[in-house]
Amino acid sequence: MNSIEHFGKVISTDILIVGHGISGLSAAITAKEKNPALKVLAVDKACVGFGGKANKGGGHISYIPEGAEETYVEYHTRNLGDYLNNQDRLRRYAHSTVKTLDKWESWGVSFRARDDAFQAHPIIPWKMFVVDLDMLIPMAKHARQAGVEFMEKVAIVDLLTDGDQVCGAIGFDLVTAEILVFKAKAVVLANGNQNWRVMRMWSSSRGEGIATAWRAGARMRGAEFGSFVNMISVEHFQVSYGSENAMFNAKGEFMDDRADLDGNLKDTFGGADLGGTQSISMYKQVAAGNGPIFEDTEKNDYPSTPQGMNIVPEVGRAADNWFRPFAHKWWHLLWEKNKMGGYKTSSKMKEVAPGFIGEFGPVNVDDNWMTNIKGLFASGDICAGGIQIFGAVPAPPGRNRGSGLIAAVYHGIHAGPAAADYVTGLEKPGQIDPVQLQALQEDMLVPLYRSQGVTAAELTWKIQCIMTPVPNSALKREDRLKAALAETLALKAELPKLVASDGHSLSACIETKAMVLCAEMFFRASLERKETRGWHIREDFPSRDDSANPYWVDLENVGGEMAVSRTEVPLNHYVYQPG
Ligand SMILES: Cc1cc2nc3c(=O)[nH]c(=O)nc-3n(C[C@H](O)[C@H](O)[C@H](O)COP(=O)(O)OP(=O)(O)OC[C@H]3O[C@@H](n4cnc5c(N)ncnc54)[C@H](O)[C@@H]3O)c2cc1C
């Protein structure tokens, strides 16, 4: 049998962090802090300081002020998590947000108006301020100073395992297509969630980390909730922030986001949230002949709020304590570009549509952010659904704006040290099996050896067409879910025809495979939950089923097949019960 060097360049590390977005950086810094003697290597498809979503978003940060934690836990559990959140984990999170901010700020990020944070929710004691969007650059600098090593333009494809223990990963250099074999005692997957590349600003998350974990045998949980929707302008296809509160149908009637919903559905939701219920109302209005739907831009007060003034720069410049130079420039450029490509009309009424985002992050982890595979940890968006801190909502930001960044940092500062402790206490590191390595390498490279077939772009378009329609992913019903699953499985059968010509198109093939896999997970889990709960809205089961204990829907890879099962939520053990 060949030595592992035969398969590619071998790189050894104690901890391999996959993805150096905000969660990967947080994990890398804190792993190194926990045990400076360990080698911590963070690899990413993108460049250090520029990968992932944190630097492309709104930069809103929400936190729970000290003393208000329990009010938040109760409200979230009853209204948003809908009793599927692990209440102990949510409580620990609520008690940690201020400490998380302190730690994060100590890495040199530029917070704005932290001392002037405002009340951002009518009920939850939940405060909001902002961070400038260049935040990853000081974090990466801090990580380098702490001794973290980096590799850029590297795609990680599969994990190497020895029995039930992780021992490395295989991937390739995106530029040269050189094969890279990583020997690692622990791996932290921090490579984002799945957004199916529908919305441009979310397109860096293509679910490969979820697929990587799945192929190695990791369990998924809460996959039925990954169908986040935002309101977008049809003129430029970007998010129309705040439009959800200022929507009118074609008859000029104001659209209350719950007015069109059946009684039970209306009662199930709570709190101020984003997009989900509005998308269903829009769908119903359009189906009833009342479309299209418009935003009355004069009634949308978001752009003139302190945080809005950074995102919609044409309304002015935010006050000095809120002003973020980097974010201002970024959003200004984007707005100018949108004007060039859109804004066909100067009317105050702008047509809006549901923009499918996804935020699908079902990798299941325990209290130490470890998956069911020893030494395999997950951090950030990839496990934001599977960790069940927030329950029946898509991965952050889910239904609370401003929870994605802080949650990603919170995950990192726990997953990193947990991985360091694991490696420090590890008696017998796993050994790479050349037979497994060879099989994974062949599977990874096979699209390069085909001369004809289908391209990643063709299949990506098809899977987007299955995921995007509101009646498939937001308002669910058994017959439609089954039809969508059947279409997804038909695409799965086409995956063995994928062709690639270089490192970049090979990466696209791997991403497309992940998109199809994640769609299958979403539809199978959605079929299993025969009730309406939180973000999971079933037309055929419009009520929450309180006749038995709530359950989590789990997915497991049994010999290549997707096995669906339920795990009862230990509700008796928690403080809050329905009713
Ligand atoms: C438009 C937009 C607006 C947002 N607004 C806000 C907001 O205002 N407030 C808020 O709190 N949150 C917001 N969010 C969410 C927030 O940005 C994310 O929750 C957070 O950045 C997730 O961090 P992460 O590190 O887990 O994942 P990511 O940021 O997705 O990072 C994952 C990294 O993994 C890399 N990667 C992926 N696959 C591989 C692979 N196979 N091999 C190697 N590397 C790989 C990627 O290149 C990337 O760098 C917004 C997101 C978007 C897109």
pLDDT band at 331 (very low <50, low <70, confident <90, very high): confident
Q: Are 41 and 149 in contact (CB under 8 A)?
A: yes
> Does the structure show a pLDDT above 70 at 260?
no
**Cα-based angle 40, 45, 48 (whole degrees, multiple of 5):** 60
Q: Is 361 in the pocket of ligand 1 (CB under 6 A)?
A: no
Between the CA of 37 and the centroid of ligand 1 the distance, in Å, is: 29
- Annotate 127-179 with three-state secondary structure: EEEEECCCCHHHHHHHHHHHCCEEECCEEEEEEEEECCEEEEEEEEECCCCCE
Q: Note whether residue 265 is domain-resident.
A: yes
Q: Note whether residue 202 is domain-resident.
A: no
Q: What is the pLDDT at residue 346? A: 67
- Annotate 353-383 with three-state secondary structure: EEEEEECECCECCCCCCECCCECEEECHHHH
Q: Note whether residue 388 is domain-resident.
A: no
Q: What is the pLDDT at residue 270? A: 36
Token pair listed for 66: 């000290």
Residue nearest to atom 44 of ligand 1 (CA): 44
> Does the structure show a pLDDT above 60 at 214?
yes
Q: Is 308 in the pocket of ligand 1 (CB under 6 A)?
A: no
| Higher pLDDT pick, 329 / 496 | 496
pTM: 0.95
Q: Is 22 in the pocket of ligand 1 (CB under 6 A)?
A: yes
- Residue to probe by mutation, ligand 1, list 150, 154, 405, most atoms within 8 Å of CB: 405
Q: Note whether residue 466 is domain-resident.
A: no
Between the CA of 22 and the centroid of ligand 1 the distance, in Å, is: 7
Q: Are 33 and 1 in contact (CB under 8 A)?
A: no
Q: How far apart, in whole angstroms, are the C-alpha atoms of residue 56 and residue 18?
A: 20
CATH of the domain at 257: 3.90.700
Helix (H) or strand (E) holding 232: strand 228-233
Token pair listed for 574: 């928690």
Q: Across all residues in the chain, what is the average pLDDT?
A: 91
Q: Is 207 in the pocket of ligand 1 (CB under 6 A)?
A: no
Q: Is 414 in the pocket of ligand 1 (CB under 6 A)?
A: no
Q: Is 417 in the pocket of ligand 1 (CB under 6 A)?
A: no
Alpha carbon 210 to its chain centroid, in Å, reads 10
* 165 CB-contact burial (10 Å; exposed 0-12 / middle 13-18 / buried 19+): middle
Alpha carbon 221 to its chain centroid, in Å, reads 14
Residue nearest to atom 29 of ligand 1 (CA): 52
Q: Report the number of distinct structural domains present in the chain.
A: 1
pLDDT band at 269 (very low <50, low <70, confident <90, very high): very low
Q: How far apart, in whole angstroms, are the C-alpha atoms of residue 75 and residue 333?
A: 38
pLDDT band at 479 (very low <50, low <70, confident <90, very high): very high
> Does the structure show a pLDDT above 60 at 267?
no
Q: Are 87 and 574 in contact (CB under 8 A)?
A: yes
Q: Is 204 in the pocket of ligand 1 (CB under 6 A)?
A: yes
* pLDDT tens-digit map of 362-393: 999 999 999 999 999 999 999 999 999 999 98
Q: Note whether residue 320 is domain-resident.
A: yes
Residue 272, domain extent:
229-356
Token pair listed for 305: 């709020």
Q: How far apart, in whole angstroms, are the C-alpha atoms of residue 359 and residue 393?
A: 10
Whose tokens are 């509160």? That residue is: 245
* pLDDT tens-digit map of 122-168: 677 788 899 999 999 999 999 999 999 999 999 999 999 999 999 99
- 274-278, 287-291, 369-373, 534-538: range with lowest mean pLDDT: 274-278
Between the CA of 43 and the centroid of ligand 1 the distance, in Å, is: 15
Q: Note whether residue 241 is domain-resident.
A: yes
Q: Note whether residue 455 is domain-resident.
A: no
Between the CA of 23 and the centroid of ligand 1 the distance, in Å, is: 8
Q: What is the pLDDT at residue 348? A: 86
Q: Are 402 and 10 in contact (CB under 8 A)?
A: no
* Collapsed DSSP state (helix, strand, coil) of residue 567: strand
* pLDDT tens-digit map of 169-200: 999 999 999 999 999 999 999 999 999 999 98
> Does the structure show a pLDDT above 80 at 340?
no
Residue nearest to atom 50 of ligand 1 (CA): 57
Q: Across the chain, how many H-helices and E-strands are there?
A: 16, 20
**Percent of the chain residues topping a pLDDT of 90:** 73
* pLDDT tens-digit map of 416-454: 999 999 999 999 999 999 999 999 999 999 999 998 999
- Sheet of strand 220-221: strand arrangement: 220-221, 551-558, 561-568
Between the CA of 457 and the centroid of ligand 1 the distance, in Å, is: 22
Q: Is 412 in the pocket of ligand 1 (CB under 6 A)?
A: no
Q: What is the pLDDT at residue 527? A: 98
DSSP secondary structure letter of residue 216: H
* Helical spans, DSSP H, in 180-275: 208-216, 263-268
> Does the structure show a pLDDT above 80 at 1?
no
Stretch 45-74: mean pLDDT: 93
Q: Note whether residue 282 is domain-resident.
A: yes
Q: Is 51 in the pocket of ligand 1 (CB under 6 A)?
A: yes
Q: Is 208 in the pocket of ligand 1 (CB under 6 A)?
A: yes
Q: Is 56 in the pocket of ligand 1 (CB under 6 A)?
A: yes
Residue nearest to atom 22 of ligand 1 (CA): 381
| Closest atom of ligand 1 relative to the 62 alpha carbon | 11
Q: Is 25 in the pocket of ligand 1 (CB under 6 A)?
A: no
Between the CA of 394 and the centroid of ligand 1 the distance, in Å, is: 14
> Does the structure show a pLDDT above 60 at 264?
no
Q: What is the pLDDT at residue 265? A: 44
Whose tokens are 């990580």? That residue is: 143
Between the CA of 345 and the centroid of ligand 1 the distance, in Å, is: 33
Between the CA of 51 and the centroid of ligand 1 the distance, in Å, is: 8
Q: Is 380 in the pocket of ligand 1 (CB under 6 A)?
A: yes
Q: Is 334 in the pocket of ligand 1 (CB under 6 A)?
A: no
Token pair listed for 41: 């290597």
Sign of torsion over alpha carbons 447, 451, 453, 454: positive
Between the CA of 546 and the centroid of ligand 1 the distance, in Å, is: 35
Q: How far apart, in whole angstroms, are the C-alpha atoms of residue 42 and residue 27?
A: 9
Q: Is 404 in the pocket of ligand 1 (CB under 6 A)?
A: yes
